[in-house]
């Protein structure tokens, strides 16, 4: 087993374990916070953090399978379907959403942790799991960007995929508020309606910028490889 394959296997197992542990063992009493007691309607899937953890689990599993039955050639003559799937997910979802989740969480946390991760829930949410969900995701996806030579789809197609997922999640937040009567993220409770609209649009804009950042990083790392392949 190559180091790349071992890395993909270990990271996939790491995230699958985190999702499983969170789902089965993280229980916050309702008296402690509104987010408690199985988190009400929709369970853990009300959080983009959990969406992303599941996404990373599946993505790195696909990376592992690509190591086994696909190819890691920089410019393969014939690209297997699983390599195409891996590259598409990396470019359009895995990188931008991981970076969005990590940067937005720690950005708000540093501003005022009560707006994103109240102290009251700390005893019920392990420190290691917090870092798995909000720190490791950025580290592992950046490593994968450095390992993977992938052709980004057209910007229109890539942003359509990303925007569809992000807008779906924002709509999901509104649905949850309709059924539960409270906002998933405490920061939304201190914003009026116009500021909520600005917050939602701002988050969508940030995710678009992170997609473009991933595109720039990929070009910086692999542009010479693409040019040499054209000359050959």
- Answer yes or no: is pLDDT of 41 > 70: no
Average per-residue pLDDT for the chain: 92
For CA atoms 67, 59, 113, 125, the dihedral sign is: negative
Q: Name the packing angle between helices 48-69 and 3-25 (round to 10°).
A: 150
pLDDT at 155: 95
Over residues 141-195, the pLDDT tens digits come to 999 999 999 989 999 999 999 999 999 999 999 998 888 888 888 889 889 999 9
Over residues 106-117, the pLDDT tens digits come to 999 999 999 899
E strand or H helix that includes residue 10? helix 3-25
DSSP label at residue 181: S
CA distance 35 to 50: 14
pLDDT at 36: 61
Residues in CB range of 222: below 8 A, 6 or more apart: 74, 149, 150
pLDDT at 183: 87
Q: What percent of the chain has pLDDT over 70?
A: 94
Joined together, the tokens standing for residue 6 give: 């071992």
pLDDT at 12: 98
223 or 40, which is more confident? 223
CA distance 153 to 151: 6
Q: Where are the alpha helices (DSSP H) in 70-192?
A: 81-89, 95-112, 127-131, 137-147, 155-180
- Answer yes or no: is pLDDT of 202 > 60: yes
Annotated domain spans of the chain: 3-231
Over residues 127-150, the pLDDT tens digits come to 999 999 999 999 999 999 999 999
Over residues 86-103, the mean pLDDT reads: 98
Give the confidence band of 44 by pLDDT, cuts at 50, 70, 90. Answer: confident
pLDDT at 31: 78
pLDDT at 218: 94
pTM of the predicted model, to two decimals? 0.93
34 or 1, which is more confident? 1
Residues in CB range of 147: below 8 A, 6 or more apart: 4, 7
pLDDT at 232: 57
- Answer yes or no: is pLDDT of 8 > 90: yes
pLDDT at 40: 55
């Amino acid at each position: 087993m190559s180091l790349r394959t071992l890395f993909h296997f270990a990271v996939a197992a790491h995230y699958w374990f985190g999702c499983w542990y969170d789902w089965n063992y993280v229980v916050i009493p309702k008296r402690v916070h509104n987010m408690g007691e199985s988190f009400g309607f929709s369970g853990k899937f009300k959080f983009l953090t959990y969406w992303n953890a599941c996404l990373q689990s599946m993505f790195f599993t696909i990376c592992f399978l690509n190591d086994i039955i696909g190819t890691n050639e920089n410019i393969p003559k014939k690209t297997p379907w699983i390599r195409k799937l891996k590259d598409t997910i990396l470019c359009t979802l895995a990188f931008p959403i991981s970076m969005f989740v990590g940067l937005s969480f720690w950005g708000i946390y540093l501003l005022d942790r009560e707006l994103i991760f109240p102290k009251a829930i700390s005893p019920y949410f392990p420190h290691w799991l917090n870092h798995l969900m909000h720190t490791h995701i950025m580290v592992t996806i950046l490593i994968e960007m450095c390992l993977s030579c992938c052709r980004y789809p057209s910007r229109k197609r890539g942003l359509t995929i990303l925007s569809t997922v992000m807008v779906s999640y924002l709509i999901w937040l509104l649905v949850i508020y309709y059924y539960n009567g409270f906002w998933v993220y405490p920061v939304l409770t201190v914003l009026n309606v116009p500021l909520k609209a600005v917050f939602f649009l701002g988050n969508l804009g940030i995710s678009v910028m992170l997609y473009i950042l991933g595109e720039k990083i990929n070009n910086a790392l692999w542009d010479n490889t693409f040019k040499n392949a054209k000359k050959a």
